Structures are given as structure tokens and as C-alpha cells.
Amino acid sequence: MKQDIFQAISDPTRRAILTLIAIQALTPNAMAEKFDMTRQAVSKHIKVLHECELIKPEHSGREIYYHFNAKKMQEFDHWLAQFRQNWETQFNQLDVLLSTIKEQKK
Amino acid sequence: MNNDLLFDFNVDKAAKTVYITREFNAPQALVWDAFTKAELLDQWGAPAPMRAKTKYMDFKVGGRRFYAMISPDGQERWSVQEFTSITPKTNFKMYNTFADKDENRELPGSDWDYNFSEQNGITKVSITIYNESLERMEKLSEGFRIGFTMTLENLENLLATLSQKQ
């Protein structure tokens, strides 16, 4: 199953990885070194982040560098803004309904 | 409209939690009814031009509301809300899941916590939504997108018509 962004960024190590590669693309080995983790542990985090498209691999010779996919984060923020808009719309509808009911009671 | 009424919307991505606070110019008992009675919920509980239709609602601990959001072209998106805690007029909690039209739930869902308080005739509602799967929420909001460009005029007209009939 495709990873959920909420799930991906709820992990502190993954957030730290994102913060780091937002500044500079890194290879899995470089990540393992910086976070003092095994290659396997790093691979698991990379898999989660890659599946929800928060990071993008780029091949350079025999190495793979992972980049931060800012566009995906923007899509997510955009979606959140729409979710907020839905609530605003519904609450405005409720304002109308409440004032209608209050009028009826008078 | 109602620009002086508070509306807060905050997201803690790491904690997978959304916090929503809104004030309403109405007494607490009335606002409570608007959030807990099917016939009122159906009149505002979906952003126009979507509409909400409750098939049944049993507002008690362990009870359920089974309802659909219906788009203008007739597509229905069903959800089940299971009430897990109720303190009349001040708080209720529910577990929300999307479902098919036969009420089969698609787990996992999300936990919703509603708090109500009143001061000087203004009722404040605070909603905390926890652990909603992003993909499921996105799925829901897809249908909503239709609504963004429309105005609320339709609904206001409808409510005006209804209130005249009563």
C-alpha cells in the first residue's frame, strides 16, 4: 500500500532526514553516517519517504542521491487549505441555519 | 459574514492532528443540537453544492450515524460515525470511518473530539481530529472540490424557503 504522508512525517528521524536533504541531496550512505544508523535502517526510512513522493532519487554515476520533493509538500499544504475552506463553508452555512432557527423562535 | 466570530484552523502534521475552533452567535443548547441532531446536521453538514443525507442517527454512546455526502451529479460518499463518549451540551467524541452504501466500514478512521462552551451568548466549538489517514481525507475532499466555486446562495434560498413553510 502506498504510504500516507502523515505517517511518513510523524517519525522524528524521517523529519530530520527531510530537513537535511532539503538543504543538500544525500546518498543513503551519507545519511547513515550523519544519523549514525545502519544502512538497513536508512533504507527503510528512504522507502517510506520515497513511496509518498516526499523525496526523489537521482542517479549520479553509481551513486543515488535523494532530493527533497518540495512540490509534494506544497500539494499537501494545498490540500489542507482546501480542507480548511470546506470547514469555513460549512460553518458559514451553520451561521445561516442558526440565525434562521433563532428567528423562528422569536 | 460574521467576521467578528473566531475561526481557527491549525494542523500539527507530526502529531497527525487537526484543530478547528469556531464561534457561533447562538446559545450553546442550539449549537449542540445543530451538531447532534440529524435533521439539523443535514442542513449544513456538507459544503454547498454538496449535501448531507443521514440514513439514520442514534445519538448515544455506542450508537451510530450513517450518512452520505452527495454531490450535485448524485454521487454518494458514505461514512459511519460511531459515538464513543457523550457529555450532554459540552462534549462528544466519535470515531469516523468511510464506508460503502451497505455500511461496510473502511478502516482505519479518525477520532473526533467536540467541545462546546458559551460566553455572553456566543458559543465556541473546538474540534480535534486525530489520526485521519491522509489518503482517506484526500478522497473525501476530492468530491468537495466541486463546491469551491459555487456560492452559498442556493443554500440560503433553500433555508429561507424551508423556514417559510414551517
Which amino acid is present at A46?
I
Q: Tell me which chain B residue has its CA closest to the CA of residue A78.
A: B138
The reported pLDDT for the residue numbered B133 is 59
> Do A47 and A93 share a structural domain?
no
Closest CA to B57 of B40, B70, B71, B72: B40
Question: Between β-strands B76-87 and B91-99, what pairing exists: parallel, antiparallel or unpaired?
Answer: antiparallel
> Do A85 and A64 share a structural domain?
no
Q: What is the domain partition of chain B in residue ranges?
A: 7-165
The share of chain A scoring above pLDDT 90, in percent, equals: 40
> Do A48 and A18 share a structural domain?
yes
Beta bridge partner(s), residue B83 = B94
The reported pLDDT for the residue numbered B152 is 37
Unique residue bearing C-alpha cell 447562538: B26
Give the pLDDT band of residue A1 (cuts 50, 70, 90): very low
Structural domain range at position A99: 70-106
Whether the link from the prior residue into B49 is cis, omega within 30° of 0, is: yes
What does the alpha-carbon distance between residue B161 and residue B27 come to, in Å, rounded to a whole number? 24
The reported pLDDT for the residue numbered A70 is 82
Tell me the pTM. Answer: 0.71
What does the alpha-carbon distance between residue A27 and residue A41 come to, in Å, rounded to a whole number? 14
> Do A75 and A53 share a structural domain?
no
The reported pLDDT for the residue numbered A104 is 87
> Do A95 and A63 share a structural domain?
no
> Do A74 and A64 share a structural domain?
no
Q: B145: which DSSP letter? A: G
Nearest to B44 among A2, A4, A97 (CB): A97
Closest CA to B97 of B114, B84, B85: B84
> Do A14 and A57 share a structural domain?
yes
Question: Residue A10 in contact with residue B14, Cβ under 8 Å?
Answer: yes
Q: Tell me which chain A residue has its CA closest to the CA of residue B10.
A: A84
Q: Which residue would you say has higher pLDDT here, B62 or A19?
A: B62
What ipTM describes this predicted complex? Answer: 0.74
- How many helices and strands, by DSSP H and E, does chain B display? 4, 8
* Pairwise CB contact (< 8 Å): B141 & A96: no
Residues of chain B with pLDDT under 50: 1-2, 141-159, 166
What string of DSSP letters covers chain A?
A: -PPPHHHHHTSHHHHHHHHHHHHS-B-HHHHHHHHT--HHHHHHHHHHHHHTTSEEEEEETTEEEEEE-HHHHHHHHHHHHHHHHHHHHHHHHHHHHHHHHHHHH-
> Do A64 and A74 share a structural domain?
no
Mean pLDDT value across residues A40-56: 92
* Pairwise CB contact (< 8 Å): A79 & B141: yes
* Pairwise CB contact (< 8 Å): B43 & A2: no
> Do A11 and A1 share a structural domain?
yes
When divided into structural domains, chain A yields a total of 2
Nearest to B163 among A5, A95, A100 (CB): A100
CATH superfamily of B7-165: START domain (3.30.530.20)
> Do A43 and A86 share a structural domain?
no
Does the structure show a pLDDT above 70 at A16? yes
Is A19 at the interface with chain B, CB within 8 A? Answer: no
pLDDT tens digits for A51-85? 988 899 999 889 999 998 888 877 777 777 878 88
The share of chain A scoring above pLDDT 70, in percent, equals: 96
Is A90 at the interface with chain B, CB within 8 A? Answer: yes
> Do A53 and A2 share a structural domain?
yes
> Do A93 and A103 share a structural domain?
yes
Phi-psi group of B131: left, alpha or beta (phi > 0 → left; psi -120 to 50 → alpha; rest → beta)? left
The reported pLDDT for the residue numbered B143 is 42
The reported pLDDT for the residue numbered B161 is 53
Unique residue bearing C-alpha cell 532519487: A57
